[in-house]
Structure 1
Amino acid sequence: MTDIMIIVPIFWLTVVESQSGMKEYRIAVDGLTYEKSHKLNVGVDLMVWNKLSLTVDGYYDHRTDILVDGSGAISSVFGMTVPMRNDGIINSYGVDVAANWTDHIGDFTYQIGGQFSFARNEIIEMNEEYRPYDYLKRTGHSVGQIFGYEVEGIYQSQEEIDQRDVKQYLSDVRPGDLKFKDQNGDKRIDQYDQVALGYNETCPEIYYGFNVGAEYKGLGFTAYFQGAANYSKILDTKSVYRPLVSNNTISQYYWDNRWSESNPNGTLPRLTTQGSDNNYNTNSLWVADASFLKLRMLEVYYQLPEKWLKNIAFVKGIKIFGRGHDLFCVDGIDIADPESIGVAHPTMRQYAFGFNLKF
């Protein structure tokens, strides 16, 4: 690291002016090295009866000397910016499985297959700062693990707020605001009440898919399904889940599900034009299960018999087809696609009709 000295303005207490000078910005560090990876991989490939194919592949990856923030290893009373250090350790492991079966019964042929992939990592060392409770620690969790408050409900009245012995200090609390769980029993809700919620939002731990197809005398279909699991998303799109604040618009979804005196069973916090650190933080209400299953592709086709093409020169085959992409999705997130949370261009269903000529 060479970023040791910088020139900064120094402000004096007795005069309203500054004087340029130099100070040590970050202590020097030597001995930095490359990140190291120690891998183990085991795989098996099988083919049985010329009909069943199977592939299984497992791996383990132990990574060391990862560059991490060094401030967690040195007391904050040190008073200077601490350099990065090669102290990070992460273990990753997973398995990939793929299988396919192809067979026929007379003129009827069919095929079915599937794929499954599982991958997980665990932080072993990251120079984590001191945390007074084990549930606050990031070490032992996956990279990108979400932490936040656990919602117990919505306050229905000022009387309920006043009578509760647990006080929330994130912002002013009013009827219609979220009620959080006191994790450490100190009768107050603060940064020490955040726990691990869901999974990481970087990428799913599980991907899977399966395909099926069949054909009888030229008429057939092919379908491919794809899904993901062990995956979370934070619902923080401003116009959808953070309405009115800073002149944001409001979605029909939020309006219909908001809490109000006339709608005490509403599942979303009260409407307000003011910012609310109590309601609009990372908590279990906004951390959604982003698992999904989609029909990625469906094709129905008809292969014209060769005898119909005898009088057409140079044409060996004609295939007429109809095809659709992203036809439906099964998931637990209302009004949003798990792969496209937000107000950008939505995922589109696509349809195509055509024919293929074989010469």
Structure 2
Amino acid sequence: LDASLSGSAASILEPGHRWGLFPSVGAAWLLSEETALKSDWLNLLKFRASYGVAGRADYDTDLYLDVYGTGGSYLFGKNPSSISGMKITQLGLAGMTYEKSHKLNAGFDFMAFNKLSVTIDGFYDHRTDILISGNNAVSSIFGLSVPKINNGVVDSYGVETALRWADKVGDFNYQIGGMLTFNRNKIVNQNEEYRPYDYLKRTGNRIGQYFGYEVEGIYQNQGEIDHRNVKQNLSDVRPGDLKYKDQNNDGVIDSYDQVALGYSPMPEIYYSLDLNFEYKGFGIYALFQGTGHQSTLLNTPSLYWPLIDNSTISSEYYNNRWTPDTPNAKYPRLTSEGSANNYTTNSLWVADASYLKLRTLELYYNFSDEMMKKSKFVKSARIFARGHDLFCADKIKIADPENIGTNHPTMTQYTLGVNLSF
């Protein structure tokens, strides 16, 4: 059983309210040491759990102060002249405090046969007192910008697992290991503004959740546009433009028709698999890594949104654009004038950014101890050929899912090397 109590003071908080106390407690039970469970094959069985509170206060400075500045003017004097006035430009945040993270973790460690190891952890994180805007909590009739308040709440939960098997059969050594992490968060409170429909609400969704229009197809001709009982108000609509779903059935496509699309840019799933096989000094090592439940917005100029601000056009867009001869095209019509209707967040541009990459592949040879005995100076030697980011499986194909923008994509690298120990 472990317990701790930490204290910290943040100069960024109001004097007299700068100290925060954060307790934590953890407990574990080593079952493999119990007489009833002691065994030659069971190396370790340990259950553990912990709960604690952590705090952070990395806010902007002077948020607790009323700030005054020039504003307005008035006439003063025997011969009246205009004099600059003063006004409040920032209302101080009263009672500003630490953002707190209430963390609960439970898991176990397991080892058996001197070969198998397993670790599983489940966690829950309840974040409170997050500093968020207070504008939506106070009517605009107040007349001033409302200060931020410690009123945000976010819940996160998930599981982390790791498994490894290592064994030796004669001159053959091998290891197989992997890990999987699932982490989901939900906004519980963010002082969200009033929204007339539940599907518009950001509260209850993930942090960074994409919202946009649901694409139903592409308008094929002017008659289809004219006879549809839905008007799209985003911009002028022509044949070849995207057709959106009217979510509230009011006959108009506007901001009230945006819905949650895909996931957020931060993946909910991380996983990896590593393999190591070695026989009489010759070996191969491979590391695979990937993500899941991750989305990205395909809005890169030239590549996906062409001819905007004098940008160019990619062959991907040009070869898959709509024309009267390609009614089932992937992308809307090409226009040099841009299109607020087409180039906005919608289900066409919110793409699955999950991927699986071969991060590392290495071929090597470790010189044996017998061979090293012939050398007076070198104790061990190893030669290797290594590659990084050699392979990627994803649904985007034409761009690196880790870097959709115009920055340089992840580079494949090759290395030949020798390790010597003297």
State the TM-score, normalized to the length of structure 1. 0.93
Residue among 330, 355, 360 paired with 1:297? 360
Contact 2:135 2:145 in 1 (8 A): yes
1:163/1:218 Cα in 2 relative to 1: closer, same or farther (>3 Å)? same
**2:65 aligned with 1:2, yes or no?**
yes
**2:262 aligned with 1:198, yes or no?**
yes
Aligned to 2:407: 344
Contact 1:245 1:272 in 2 (8 A): no
Residue among 284, 288, 293 paired with 1:221? 284
Aligned to 2:9: none
1:265/1:76 Cα in 2 relative to 1: closer, same or farther (>3 Å)? same
Aligned to 1:172: 236
Contact 2:307 2:338 in 1 (8 A): no
Shift of 1:314: 2.1
Q: Percent same amino acid at aligned positions?
A: 60
Aligned to 1:330: 393
**2:216 aligned with 1:152, yes or no?**
yes
Supply the distance in 2 between the matched residues of 1:302 and 1:36 (Cα, whole angstroms).
51
1:146/1:318 Cα in 2 relative to 1: closer, same or farther (>3 Å)? same
Supply the distance in 1 between the matched residues of 2:379 and 2:89 (Cα, whole angstroms).
75
Residue among 52, 68, 75 paired with 2:116? 52
Supply the distance in 2 between the matched residues of 1:357 and 1:237 (Cα, whole angstroms).
47
**2:305 aligned with 1:269, yes or no?**
no
Letter in 1 for 2:334: L
Residue among 27, 36, 56 paired with 2:100? 36
**2:318 aligned with 1:248, yes or no?**
no
Aligned to 1:134: 198
Letter in 2 for 1:104: K
Letter in 2 for 1:196: A
Letter in 2 for 1:125: N
Residues 68-83 of structure 1 mapped to structure 2, 5 A cutoff: 68-83=132-147
Supply the distance in 2 between the matched residues of 1:59 and 1:311 (Cα, whole angstroms).
54
Contact 2:124 2:158 in 1 (8 A): yes
Contact 2:65 2:91 in 1 (8 A): no
Contact 1:322 1:354 in 2 (8 A): yes
Q: What is the aligned-residue RMSD (CA, Å)? A: 1.9
Q: Unmatched 5+ residue regions in structure 2?
A: 1-63, 75-81
Shift of 1:283: 0.7
Shift of 1:179: 0.7
Residue among 301, 304, 308 paired with 1:238? 301
Contact 1:91 1:124 in 2 (8 A): yes
Aligned to 2:173: 109
Contact 1:10 1:20 in 2 (8 A): yes
Letter in 1 for 2:379: K
Aligned to 1:14: none
Shift of 1:19: 7.3
Supply the distance in 2 between the matched residues of 1:109 and 1:147 (Cα, whole angstroms).
51
Shift of 1:304: 3.2
Letter in 2 for 1:102: A
Contact 1:88 1:127 in 2 (8 A): yes
Supply the distance in 2 between the matched residues of 1:239 and 1:22 (Cα, whole angstroms).
49
Aligned to 1:15: none
Supply the distance in 1 between the matched residues of 2:388 and 2:181 (Cα, whole angstroms).
22
The structure 1 segments of at least 4 consecutive aligned residues displaced by more than 6 Å after TM superposition are none
Shift of 1:102: 0.3
Q: Deviations over 1:68-117 (max 9, x none)?
A: 11111122333321111121111111211111000122221211000111
Supply the distance in 2 between the matched residues of 1:31 and 1:106 (Cα, whole angstroms).
68
Contact 1:246 1:273 in 2 (8 A): no
Instruction: State which drifts further: 157-166 or 23-32.
Output: 23-32
Shift of 1:317: 3.2
**2:364 aligned with 1:283, yes or no?**
no
Letter in 2 for 1:86: N
Larger relative contact order, structure 1 or 2 (CA cutoff 8 Å, min sep 6) = 1
Q: Unmatched 5+ residue regions in structure 1?
A: 12-17
Q: Deviations over 1:33-59 (max 9, x none)?
A: 221222211121111111011111221
Supply the distance in 2 between the matched residues of 1:62 and 1:308 (Cα, whole angstroms).
58
Supply the distance in 1 between the matched residues of 2:314 and 2:83 (Cα, whole angstroms).
52
Contact 1:303 1:319 in 2 (8 A): yes
Shift of 1:9: 5.7
Supply the distance in 1 between the matched residues of 2:341 and 2:68 (Cα, whole angstroms).
41
Supply the distance in 2 between the matched residues of 1:338 and 1:108 (Cα, whole angstroms).
37
State the TM-score, normalized to the length of structure 2. 0.79
Q: Deviations over 1:278-333 (max 9, x none)?
A: 11111111111110000000111122344445543322333221110000100111
